[in-house]
Structure 1
Amino acid sequence: MDKLNNIQVFCRIVELGTFAAVAREMNLSAMMISKYMAQLEESLGVALLNRTTRQLSLTEAGEIYYYRSKQLLEDFSELDEYTAQLGRQVKGTLKISAPIDFGGIYMVPAIDAYQREHPGVRIQMTLHNSRVNLSEGSFDLSILVTDSLEPGVVARKIAETRLCTYASPAYLAEHGEPEQIDALHSHRCLHYIDTPHKDYWVFNIDEDEVKIKTNWHFASNNGRALCQAAALGMGITQAPEISVANYLAHGQLVEILQAYRMPSLAVYATYLQRRFLPAKLTTFVDFLIKYFAENNNYNDDKLNTREKTTI
């Protein structure tokens, strides 16, 4: 294995944390990964990693070498992308992170439409509700439904949605409709786990954000499960409008407490700022902006698609 590949192995060890994880990713044995790491350190004449039985850590030299190596690998990747674009071919593998609900409901049709225009681009989408650290290199793009952004990323708004409160007609007929947010304490609530607001629901009163802790009856980290539960009459749920659009269209859910509705949440495509952005990334983000503007069947508000860099 040549030195460039040894550098790639070293960087992935730092990012994944163990030799075994890198071995699984590269479909090699841990012994081979250890051999490549030893070759790199021998060629440099310095230790890059501190090894103990429990963990790995970077030496001072290793920390410097990692960040310079990471930049070198990114430069090579950008060179490949640039060369491919000279032939007017948009191709490569695009790795995307997206929220479970938005990704599962809305991203697949968008990806299908994009790949019809750019069949040379392969897309790998991972669905989860945790924010990813793009600087670790596991993803090219992260889709976020949020009212706040972390520093150090470029964020382009692809859509927006409202955070509202919903219940089924059957539930409201049996339990009555709450007119004030304090009335939720006497209702069965369906709570979304792992939001930035933790155990609280958020509402808007005279332009101020108000949080209340509900007496939840059923909780999940899956919005579709909560929407189904609400449609079955199990209780009241608070969710982005995009998650309940189908239930609203079929009359299975209705919005309540409209006077306390929060301002819109933005759906962002986020990525790291680079000197050169590969065509697979730029064409995909541009396509998403156009796609959701043309297929915006859950929100009549006009989209603001200006690029935003957080600092």
Structure 2
Amino acid sequence: MDKLQAMKVFCRVYEAESFKVASESLDISRPMVTRYINALEDDLGAKLLHRNTRNISVTHAGKLYYQHCINILEAIEEAEGELGDLTQQPKGHLRLSVPMDFGLSHMVPILNEFSQLYPDITLEVDFSDKRVDLTESGIDLAVRGGDLGGDQFIARPLCTMRGYVCVSPMYLERKGVPQHPTDLMQHDCLIYTNAPYANKWSFNSSEEAFDVSVHGALMANNGSALTRLAVAGAGIIMQPDFLVERYLESGELVSLFDEYETFTGQFYAVYAERKLQPKKVRLLIDFLLEKLQSPA
């Protein structure tokens, strides 16, 4: 039995609480995962996991053994990492999760540049607005915006975002110009259904703060689609700067109510806390920080 590989398998099963997830993330078969766990238990003379057809639970011995395994594996990785930093080009498979709209508008060129700099690192990118569980999915690094939901991970700020209320000149010619945010109740608004309160738009100034109930005939779970609909004159949107800035610059959209703040947020690089991150992950985090924190 390859003891180190068996330890890695056990740690992955322990963290994911699933033989299936462990087999998928480690790219080995489920029977092989079972054989590694059985071999460890036979070698140790102790039960590490209780399992049935529905779930698994960790024994007291399993919890103790997990801590020893983590310490051993991290010590080996640290030693290899220090030597590898000196002697090897970074390589390996790196799984990344990014939001759909922000990923397409800002991450694609950055990831392309990163891939050219480090051709031996294989990037597997999941473009999705769905919040992923880093432990269960095997994701090495996630870019997330807004509320992180109290996840027990390290979150490093990458860049900020600000919301704008935008509309096309052709819509204003047809429907008139709203003079105050409350006038939006009489206009066609394009609703982003992934927002926590999709039909309530918030406005804040030094003098007042209030919500406006909006409605419209078009709703979608994709901000890029709503922005393009707004450019076509379908209605008024509230979307982040990274989606609307180029249309504002071209004049295809105009901003309304600039004296009010709508929503602001932050994008973060989120990853599991470890004594030593793999070099490929550290390189990508530093690269994202450099590119996204730059004023350019």
TM bucket (normalised to shorter chain) is: 0.7 to 0.9
Name the residue aligned to 1:122: 122
Name the residue aligned to 2:230: 230
Contact 1:82 1:278 in 2 (8 A): no
CA distance in 2, matches of 1:229, 1:191: 11
Name the residue aligned to 2:37: 37
1:184 paired to 2:181: no
Q: Which segment drifts farther, 86-95 or 110-119?
A: 86-95
Contact 1:168 1:231 in 2 (8 A): yes
Shift of 1:109: 0.7
CA distance in 1, matches of 2:139, 2:288: 17
Identical aligned pairs, as a percentage? 33
Q: Which segment drifts farther, 273-282 or 84-93?
A: 273-282
Normalising by structure 1, we get a TM-score of 0.79
- Please state whether the residue corresponding to 1:10 is helix, strand or coil: helix
Shift of 1:153: 4.4
Contact 2:16 2:135 in 1 (8 A): no
Name the residue aligned to 1:164: 164
Shift of 1:85: 0.2
CA distance in 1, matches of 2:85, 2:207: 48
In the superposition, relative to structure 1, how do residues 52 and 202 fare at CA in structure 2: closer, same or farther (>3 Å)?
A: farther
CA distance in 2, matches of 1:208, 1:17: 49
Name the residue aligned to 1:108: 108
In the superposition, relative to structure 1, how do residues 252 and 75 fare at CA in structure 2: closer, same or farther (>3 Å)?
A: farther
CA distance in 2, matches of 1:99, 1:285: 16
- RMSD across aligned positions (CA): 3.1
Contact 2:21 2:136 in 1 (8 A): no
In the superposition, relative to structure 1, how do residues 11 and 261 fare at CA in structure 2: closer, same or farther (>3 Å)?
A: same
Shift of 1:39: 1.7
Q: Which segment drifts farther, 204-213 or 106-115?
A: 204-213
Name the residue aligned to 2:80: 80
Count of residue pairs the alignment pairs up? 296
CA distance in 2, matches of 1:156, 1:187: 39
Name the residue aligned to 2:266: 266
Q: CA deviation digits over 1:63-97, x for unaligned, max 9?
A: 44335434543443333322210226333333322
Q: Please show how residues 148-297 of structure 1 align to structure 2 within 5 Å.
A: 150=150, 152-197=152-197, 200-206=200-206, 210-262=210-262, 264-292=264-292, 296=296
Q: CA deviation digits over 1:194-245, x for unaligned, max 9?
A: 3355653332232776444432433333221221222222222211100123
Name the residue aligned to 1:91: 91
Q: Which segment drifts farther, 135-144 or 155-164?
A: 135-144
Q: Which segment drifts farther, 146-155 or 50-59?
A: 146-155
CA distance in 2, matches of 1:19, 1:118: 33
- Please state whether the residue corresponding to 2:217 is helix, strand or coil: strand
Contact 2:25 2:138 in 1 (8 A): no
CA distance in 1, matches of 2:207, 2:79: 49
Contact 1:171 1:234 in 2 (8 A): yes
In the superposition, relative to structure 1, how do residues 277 and 13 fare at CA in structure 2: closer, same or farther (>3 Å)?
A: closer
- Please state whether the residue corresponding to 1:124 is helix, strand or coil: strand
Contact 2:163 2:240 in 1 (8 A): yes
Shift of 1:107: 1.0
Name the residue aligned to 1:56: 56
Any gaps of 5 or more consecutive residues in structure 1? 297-311
Equivalent residue letter for 2:186? S
Equivalent residue letter for 2:128? H
Contact 1:178 1:257 in 2 (8 A): no
CA distance in 2, matches of 1:13, 1:108: 33
Normalising by structure 2, we get a TM-score of 0.83
- Please state whether the residue corresponding to 2:190 is helix, strand or coil: strand
CA distance in 1, matches of 2:152, 2:21: 27
Contact 1:134 1:271 in 2 (8 A): yes
Any gaps of 5 or more consecutive residues in structure 2? none
Shift of 1:6: 1.9
Equivalent residue letter for 1:96? L
